[in-house]
């Protein structure tokens, strides 16, 4: 096992022999690492933290630390992280709270860039990117294949739908539509579908055209949301059905 002499691994921590632990790292007693993880240096892993395989942690990131919530009184809450994630310099991931479900969860193949923050009880899917200093308040849901631009704060209890791209500096206080390109370029608006991102993910021309028609009805027509949803329900396609279901279950309202 490659653990630098300056690092501290508490009794009870589970660190496979395939892991690489660089200098000045701290691993708490309830941390469980999967195979082939790398802690470059100055990494803090704490709390009841379960981490999958092939994750890379860069200097000064902190994962599983106590939530920034004054209601937290030391309860044994958790962090769960999947496989193949990269967590860059000074990123922070807080463990959950009892009132919020008790767990903060990150899927697989995500990139958290420098200074990103994942607040307590947030749930991130797989294949997501949080750019530099993107910050999630508690209880945020980020669905699969989402990209959050730099300096994007997301309000508590907001959901960012699958395949959405949120431009840098956008303050998210309502739910972000799936498949959308949403930005604060002039003011917070959905500017249609995330066409480039969807093409890169293999969406066919037919799927893109159908989604574009659905977005025109929802965000660019003179119909109110209820009227637009009625017409969207008559359209074919799983993507349109997912869009309708997302809007229907939104509690904070959606950015249009």
Residue 176 lies in a domain: no
Q: Biggest alpha carbon distance in the chain?
A: 66
Q: Does 119 lie in the same domain as 18? A: yes
Local structure of residue 187 (DSSP, 8 states): S
Q: Is the pLDDT of residue 71 over 60?
A: yes
**pLDDT one-digit tens code per residue, 104-135:** 999 999 999 999 999 999 999 999 999 999 99
Q: Are residues 90 and 215 in the same domain?
A: no
pTM over 0.85: yes
Domain boundary among 100, 119, 142: 142
Backbone angles phi, psi at 34, to 5 degrees: -85, 180
Together in a domain, 20 and 135: yes
Decide if pLDDT at 137 tops 60: yes
Q: What is the pLDDT of residue 240?
A: 96
177 vs 11, 27, 57, CA distance in Å? Answer: 45, 38, 31
List the one residue out of 62, 64, 22, 14 whose CA is nearest residue 39.
22
109 part of a folded domain: yes
Q: Which of 142, 158, 190 is the last residue of a domain?
A: 142
- pLDDT tens column, 193-209: 999 999 999 999 999 99
- Is 115 in the same domain as 31? yes
pLDDT band at 46 (very low <50, low <70, confident <90, very high): very high
Which residue matches tokens 């697989």? 108
Q: Any alpha helices (H) in the chain, and if so which ranges?
A: 195-200, 205-215, 225-232, 238-249
Instruction: Check whether residue 202 and residue 101 sit in a common domain.
Output: no
Contact 28, 64 (CB under 8 A): yes
Q: What is the CA radius of gyration of the chain?
A: 20
**Does residue 171 sit within a domain?**
no
User: What's the structural domain count of the chain?
Assistant: 2
What's the residue count for the chain? 256
pLDDT at residue 5 is higher than 70: yes
> What does the mean pLDDT of the chain come to?
95
- What residues are annotated to the active site? 120-121, 138
Give the whole-angstrom CA distance, residue 55 versus residue 143.
20
Residue 137 sits in the same domain as residue 11: yes
Say what percent of the chain tops pLDDT 90.
91
Q: What is the pLDDT of residue 230?
A: 94
Res 222 pLDDT > 90: no
The CATH code of the domain that includes 225 is 1.20.1180.10
Q: What is the CATH number of the domain that holds 44?
A: 2.160.10.10
Question: What average pLDDT does range 2-17 have in this prediction?
Answer: 97
Question: Is residue 56 one of the residues assigned to a domain?
Answer: yes
250, pLDDT greater than 60: yes
pLDDT of residue 186: 54
Mean pLDDT of 20-33: 98
- Among candidate residues 142, 174, 208, the one where a domain is terminated: 142
Q: What is the DSSP letter of 8?
A: E
Range of the domain at 213: 198-249
CB 224 within 8 A of CB 146: no
Q: 123 with 30, same domain? A: yes
Q: Of all helices (H) and strands (E), which one includes residue 35?
A: none
* Model confidence pLDDT, tens digit, residues 166-191: 999 999 999 999 999 998 865 667 78
Given this model, what pLDDT does residue 54 score?
Answer: 98
Q: What is the pLDDT at residue 146?
A: 98
Assess whether 10 and 133 both reside in one domain. Answer: yes
On whether both 218 and 93 belong to a single domain, the answer is: no
125 and 222 within one domain: no
- 3-class secondary structure, 169: coil
Do residues 111 and 203 share a domain? no
What is the pLDDT confidence band of residue 192, given thresholds at 50, 70 and 90?
Answer: confident
Are 110 and 202 in the same domain? Answer: no
Which distant-in-sequence residues (6+ apart) come within 8 Å of 222 by Cβ? none
Residue 106: its pLDDT value, please? Answer: 98
Residue at 183 is within a domain: no
DSSP secondary structure string for all residues of 82-95 = -SS-EE-TT-EEE-
Residue 222 in domain: yes
Tokens standing for 69?
């919530």
Q: What is the pLDDT of residues 229-244, one digit of tens each?
A: 999 999 989 999 999 9
At residue 185, the pLDDT reads 66
Q: Is residue 158 part of a domain?
A: no
The answer as to whether 94 is a domain residue is yes
């Amino acid at each position: 096992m490659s653990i630098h002499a300056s690092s501290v691994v508490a009794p009870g921590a589970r660190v496979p022999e395939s892991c690489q632990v660089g200098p000045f790292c701290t691993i708490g007693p309830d941390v469980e690492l999967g195979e082939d993880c790398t802690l470059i240096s100055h990494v803090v892993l704490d709390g009841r933290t379960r981490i999958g395989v092939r994750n890379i942690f860069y200097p000064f990131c902190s994962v599983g630390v106590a939530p920034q919530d004054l209601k937290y009184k030391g309860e044994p809450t958790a962090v769960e992280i999947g496989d193949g994630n990269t967590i860059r310099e000074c990123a922070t991931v807080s463990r959950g709270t009892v009132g919020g479900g008790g767990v903060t969860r990150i899927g697989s193949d995500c990139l958290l860039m420098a200074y990103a923050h994942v607040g307590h009880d947030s749930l991130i899917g797989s294949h997501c990117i949080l750019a530099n200093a993107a910050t999630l308040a508690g209880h945020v849901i980020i669905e699969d294949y989402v990209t959050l631009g730099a300096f994007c704060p997301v309000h508590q209890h907001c959901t960012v739908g699958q395949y959405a791209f949120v431009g840098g500096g956008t303050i998210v206080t309502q739910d972000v539509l799936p498949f959308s390109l949403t930005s604060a370029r002039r003011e917070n608006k959905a500017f249609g579908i995330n066409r480039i991102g969807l093409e890169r993910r293999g969406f066919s021309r037919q799927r893109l055209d159908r989604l574009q028609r659905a977005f025109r009805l929802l965000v660019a027509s003179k119909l109110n949301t209820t009227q637009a949803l009625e017409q969207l329900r008559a359209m074919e396609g799983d993507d349109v059905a997912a869009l309708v279901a997302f809007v229907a279950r939104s509690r904070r309202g959606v950015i249009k």
